[in-house]
């Protein structure tokens, strides 16, 4: 007995109807499915926290199990439930009562929200949704590591470049040529900017990590996406950099890591980029 009845229109999840049979209890309405994806995303976020914390130290992200950074007591499974445990424990370790950074639940909530947003945007083609969720997860890890340590880990950005190119052969949104040009434009343009800055000032401006990150972004969203990312991150980066500079009166380059702005630009493109480019072309060129 089949519990799911497809009602004959198209095959998407929203067309799945429930009957009262055995499987009916376990199959999902769109609302439940969305909730499930959000919760699953938060669990992935919990793993991203481990990556953010351990990758810069060169530690394994698989073992040992997570422990309190204060007293090194291993965290029990019921104290490791995304967001909820943080609320129940009121942000403190159960054993030593030292404060747990609110960053942990924030990363979990962000990851859950992005999982849901990606599903709503690309859900009609699940492989694309899966790849872009992994892409955003990598950007989240890179962003928080860059904020903490001012480095972009090669261990993520370098393998992601060929991976993005290889995946472009199977995913509809970006052709392999767009992806290849994205790597060249992304890696090349920032390299030229960094080289020019070095010529003009004699100082190291942009890190090599930023160049590799933009090449990775190009591999996943193509050369159009890279150009958009450079524009968007220049605007947001300059605005935030100026604000920080005015407040702290410090060297902008030292005050603000650039990786997070590249990540924000790439994510904006993923969700809204094609629409903005279309609007721009109609408004100014046609
Ligand atoms: Zn503790």
Give a yes or no: residue 265 inside a domain.
Answer: yes
Q: What is the pLDDT of residue 201?
A: 75
**Tens digits of per-residue pLDDT, 28-72?**
678 899 999 999 999 999 999 999 999 998 888 888 888 998 899
Q: How far is the CA of 179 from the centre of ligand 1 (A)?
A: 46
185 falls within a domain: yes
118: closest CA among 34, 182, 2?
Answer: 34
Is residue 83 scored above 50 in pLDDT? Answer: yes
Backbone φ and ψ for 8, nearest 5 degrees, come out as: 85, -10
Q: Which two tokens stand for residue 187?
A: 């890696």
Residue 146 lies in a domain: no
- Please name which of 104, 108, 38 lies closest in space to residue 69, comparing C-alpha atoms: 104
Q: 92 alpha carbon to ligand 1 midpoint, in Å? A: 8
Ligand 1 geometric centre to CA of 60 (Å): 21
Q: Which domain holds residue 265?
A: 170-286
The predicted structure's pLDDT at residue 106: 96
- CA angle (76 as vertex; 72, 78 as ends), nearest 5: 145
Report how far ligand 1's centroid is from the alpha carbon of 137 (Å). Answer: 27
Does 149 fall in a domain?
no
Give the whole-number percent of the chain exceeding pLDDT 70.
85
The answer to whether residue 91 sits within a structural domain is no
pTM of the entire predicted model: 0.82
Expressed in angstroms and rounded, the spacing between residue 91 Cα and the centre of ligand 1 is 11
d(CA 77, ligand 1 centre) in Å: 15
Interhelix angle 103-122/30-54, rounded to 10 degrees, is 130
In a domain, 75, yes or no: no
pLDDT in tens, 167-221: 999 888 899 999 999 999 998 877 787 777 778 777 666 668 888 999 999 999 9
Q: Looking at beta carbons, which pairs linking 202-211 to residues 24 or more positions away fall under 8 Å?
A: 203/253, 205/253, 206/258, 207/150, 207/151, 207/152, 207/258, 209/146, 209/151, 209/152, 209/153, 209/154, 209/157, 209/259, 210/152, 210/258, 210/259, 210/262, 211/186, 211/187
CA 81 to chain centre: 21
Count of the separate structural domains present in the chain: 1
Percent above pLDDT 90 for the chain = 54
Residue 248 lies in a domain: yes
Judge whether 74 lies within some domain: no
């Amino acid at each position: 007995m089949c519990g799911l009845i497809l009602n004959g229109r198209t095959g998407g999840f929203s067309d799945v109807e429930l009957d009262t049979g055995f499987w009916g209890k376990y199959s999902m309405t769109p609302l439940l499915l969305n909730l499930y994806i959000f919760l699953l995303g938060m669990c992935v976020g919990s793993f991203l926290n481990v990556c953010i914390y351990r990758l810069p130290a060169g530690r394994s992200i698989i073992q040992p199990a997570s422990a309190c950074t204060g007293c090194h007591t291993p965290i029990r499974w019921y104290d490791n439930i995304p967001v909820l445990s943080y609320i129940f424990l009121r942000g403190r370790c159960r054993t030593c009562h030292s404060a747990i950074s609110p960053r942990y639940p924030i990363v979990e909530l962000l990851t859950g929200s992005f999982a849901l947003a990606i599903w709503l945007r690309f859900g009609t083609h699940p492989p694309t949704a899966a790849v872009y969720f992994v892409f955003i997860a990598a950007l989240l890890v890179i962003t928080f590591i860059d904020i903490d340590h001012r480095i972009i880990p090669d261990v993520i950005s370098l393998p992601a470049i060929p991976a993005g190119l290889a995946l472009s052969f199977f995913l509809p949104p970006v052709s392999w040529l767009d992806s290849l040009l994205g790597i060249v434009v992304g890696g090349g343009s920032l390299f030229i900017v960094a080289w020019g800055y070095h010529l003009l000032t004699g100082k190291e401006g942009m890190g090599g990590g930023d160049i590799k990150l933009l090449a990775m972004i190009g591999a996943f969203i193509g050369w159009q996406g890279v150009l958009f990312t450079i524009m968007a991150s220049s605007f947001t980066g300059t605005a935030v950099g100026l604000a920080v500079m005015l407040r702290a009166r410090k060297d902008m380059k030292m005050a603000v890591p650039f990786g997070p702005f590249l990540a924000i630009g790439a994510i904006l493109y993923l969700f809204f980029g094609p629409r903005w480019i279309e609007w721009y072309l109609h408004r100014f060129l046609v």
